[in-house]
Structure 1
């Protein structure tokens, strides 16, 4: 654990090791398997499938997920508010008006309920033809794994209380055009939430690739480079002052990597998503909200987006026997640690730096509700990750002049720490570095 003694203040940094008690050991591999088995039992969960059948289709699957959230809420004294945001949709992959419904459980924060961290996975499934709404489409890994992770995170984290809000979201319509992600991003805006982070989990339950390569030791975390909500003015500023590698989602990825345990390393992938692919974190990025995607270390393309079949002895289809539940439990534990850390911490402060034509650098920041201390970080412009804090301020002065530190040579950032020592992700002092929409 990284411990920094600065001006008489002892800081424990979550950026080095997982330090906040989030009971990740309470994650149950057996419950994860049972949830995926339940999801597979609905035959197909295609967004265009039947909605009023009690046993088959997207409607039955959604009602089951809602029921699981309500069971969890009953067990914690009704600590979860279950809501069902919906809208009618049409599009390239939705040829007729279709009811789209997300299943969302809200665990309100005890101090700052409008500060929110979201964990999500999509419940809908598909086969080879994205418009085939009737064929069996088990969707065990894509994305039964992510849905099971969200349900299990709610069971574990609902046993405790946090200063800020955790939202557990089961989304529909991902395979038809990221429709559930857009619905939830819009809902968050309508609620007036300040969303500090979105953890999107999509295909997080296998360890053998379609080429036979096995990787049970890493999970990939994808984060965008230049901000999706940036404009020409921001791009011009970034060209002059740097920061192309320091948007909030990239710093969120660094933060989660710092929380990884020896059982599962984070392999950061510095692109928005996989080549030619997408996920439900993208609508949040479009809205200027920090969001990252968790996905397996190696994908198996024979077991995603495939008709169920056997060709010359080779089995195709996203069925449960090709999943690795010990691995899914490890990814779930990492999410639980990250959710607890972010929910316990203040929001990252908005930060700026002044260093032009000077041998000194002035770093300043806006106050973050719930913060009692701020730590200033610096790293070389060519460095990939943050190191230990450069200096920490206990008196909340709002700025610090770093004597003899030439700003041209460094990227600077500031984190906010609560009275109990919970530390936020670092907010970089670069154009567009703030953890908030630009528009």
Structure 2
């Protein structure tokens, strides 16, 4: 108790000094903000031990080293060569239009699948979209999906996607060239390159590498894919959307070549009003399945093999904008979106032209292929770490019938968690899990720490050392 009082007193003194400094200075940035001291400062030696981020094993390190900027350049160059890939463009011309791009992507993925000994299959699921806001006539929407079957007997799967359609300034203009080098040949190249390098490996869970259409007209392709997977009963435990990941330089000249943004939704789209009220009542706004996926990706994807920093943005997407991951969130699947750190809007959704010496248009000359390769490594590290780990724990609850300073959690045991389970925790104002408590092969455990003061999660462990994302407990 004396130690706690000493730390609290030090925090109070610091806060008072900071406030005084703020009054004496004209700059708001001249002092550290009040509230810097957290529960972690007061109880630095809580139960368990400090969480150490997972690092790539030998196989993943080898996989990430195979990601080739030259091959990514070749993929983007080929996609740009079709002139336009607008959803309303020609679907039968072998050289120009969305149909030619679709057929080339499928053929390329099938060539990769030959290394999989039959584990990877390629399909082109399609449907006819009736007229909508940006679809004036009945239009065939086709996705291209390479599925790498996992070794375990389950319906667990992970999806990575980019959209192969493009547009110019007028979303209904399907005649003019729309190169779409960055938006989103870059994301398609990430998905395809990972399909190529993973084809020769055997993950535990199934991986799906997708190139979807109709994004620019209203997320039609991804909605079709997500809805189909939901109806088929596929347990999609993570979806990674790559959209505009081709450059690290913004239109103001700002560069961040070793950083990527990752957008992660807070309160889930699928929750009822009552469920959301319960989440808010226990302070779980920052602990949605998408945020847990985001924490996991940040943990496993920032290392010397990727050379990238992953920055979680606490919103579903960029401000009042959207992408294909939203279709998966709508179906209740955890999903995040990767987008370059600084966008150049002269190179997005623009007619190709020069105005006052400024080049407009999504041209390949503005793509940084080494940057795209690093983004692919971030995705690859996350995808392999997800697929090799046991599934994310289900039905995690925390006992609340009896008041007390201990916390009892329980969950549904999974035979895939052959290495047992771990309880993770963090102070309520911390963004990432900070401590881990191994609890072994059980489906319930009591922690000598009050649920009032920290957030808990439960993650599964494989004998291979891979951990799953954590699941946030609700009152049970």
Query: Offset of 1:377 from its aligned partner?
Result: 0.8
Query: Offset of 1:12 from its aligned partner?
Result: 12
Q: Which residue of 2 aligns with 1:426?
A: 470
Q: Which residue of 1 aligns with 2:357?
A: 313
Q: Which residue of 2 aligns with 1:352?
A: 397
Q: Which residue of 1 aligns with 2:303?
A: 261
Q: Which residue of 1 aligns with 2:375?
A: 331
Task: Summarize the alignment of residues 248-397 of structure 1 with structure 2, pairs less than 5 Å apart.
Answer: 248-259=289-300, 260-262=302-304, 263-350=307-394, 351-355=396-400, 357-372=403-418, 373-389=420-436, 391-394=437-440, 396-397=441-442
Paired with 2:427 and 2:87, the residues of 1 have a C-alpha distance of 47
Say which structure is richer in helix. 2
Q: Which residue of 2 aligns with 1:125?
A: 166
Paired with 2:235 and 2:470, the residues of 1 have a C-alpha distance of 17
Q: For residue 215 of structure 2, give the secondary structure of its aligned residue in structure 1.
A: coil
- The answer to whether the 8 Å contact 2:413/2:442 transfers is no
- The answer to whether the 8 Å contact 1:20/1:422 transfers is no
Paired with 2:432 and 2:203, the residues of 1 have a C-alpha distance of 28
Equivalenced residue count is: 421
Report whether the alignment pairs 1:29 with 2:74: no
Query: Offset of 1:36 from its aligned partner?
Result: 0.2
Q: Deviations over 1:180-201 (max 9, x none)?
A: 1101101212332100100000
Q: Which residue of 1 aligns with 2:44?
A: none
Q: For residue 117 of structure 1, give the secondary structure of its aligned residue in structure 2.
A: strand
Paired with 1:14 and 1:114, the residues of 2 have a C-alpha distance of 30
Q: For residue 104 of structure 1, give the secondary structure of its aligned residue in structure 2.
A: strand
Q: For residue 78 of structure 2, give the secondary structure of its aligned residue in structure 1.
A: helix
Query: Offset of 1:430 from its aligned partner?
Result: 3.4
Paired with 1:379 and 1:12, the residues of 2 have a C-alpha distance of 10
> Which deviates more from structure 2 when the two are superposed, residues 352-361 or residues 418-427?
352-361
Aligned counterpart in structure 2 of residue 208 of structure 1, from 217, 233, 249? 249
Query: Offset of 1:406 from its aligned partner?
Result: 1.3
Query: Offset of 1:388 from its aligned partner?
Result: 3.0
Q: For residue 96 of structure 1, give the secondary structure of its aligned residue in structure 2.
A: coil
Larger CA Rg, structure 1 vs 2: 2
Say which structure is richer in strand. 1
Paired with 1:40 and 1:414, the residues of 2 have a C-alpha distance of 45
Alignment CA distance shift 1:155-1:277 (3 Å)? same
Paired with 2:303 and 2:283, the residues of 1 have a C-alpha distance of 32
Paired with 1:92 and 1:148, the residues of 2 have a C-alpha distance of 29
- The answer to whether the 8 Å contact 1:14/1:423 transfers is no
Query: Offset of 1:16 from its aligned partner?
Result: 4.4
Query: Offset of 1:375 from its aligned partner?
Result: 0.3
Q: Which residue of 2 aligns with 1:41?
A: 81
- The answer to whether the 8 Å contact 1:15/1:255 transfers is no
Q: For residue 427 of structure 1, give the secondary structure of its aligned residue in structure 2.
A: coil
Higher RCO (C-alpha under 8 Å, 6+ residues apart) = 1
Paired with 1:349 and 1:303, the residues of 2 have a C-alpha distance of 42
In structure 1, runs of 5+ residues without a counterpart are: 1-6, 433-439
In structure 2, runs of 5+ residues without a counterpart are: 1-46
Q: Deviations over 1:251-273 (max 9, x none)?
A: 11111111212411001101000
TM-score, length basis structure 2: 0.86
Paired with 1:430 and 1:127, the residues of 2 have a C-alpha distance of 46
Paired with 2:54 and 2:148, the residues of 1 have a C-alpha distance of 27
Paired with 1:299 and 1:148, the residues of 2 have a C-alpha distance of 18
Q: Which residue of 1 aligns with 2:117?
A: 77
Aligned counterpart in structure 1 of residue 157 of structure 2, from 82, 92, 116? 116
Query: Offset of 1:13 from its aligned partner?
Result: 7.1
Paired with 1:239 and 1:339, the residues of 2 have a C-alpha distance of 30
Alignment CA distance shift 1:180-1:228 (3 Å)? same
Q: For residue 362 of structure 1, give the secondary structure of its aligned residue in structure 2.
A: strand
Report whether the alignment pairs 1:136 with 2:166: no
Paired with 1:219 and 1:431, the residues of 2 have a C-alpha distance of 35
Q: Deviations over 1:62-102 (max 9, x none)?
A: 00000011000113333311111111113111011100010
- The answer to whether the 8 Å contact 1:88/1:98 transfers is yes
Q: State the superposition RMSD in angstroms.
A: 1.9
Q: For residue 156 of structure 2, give the secondary structure of its aligned residue in structure 1.
A: strand
Q: Which residue of 2 aligns with 1:244?
A: 285
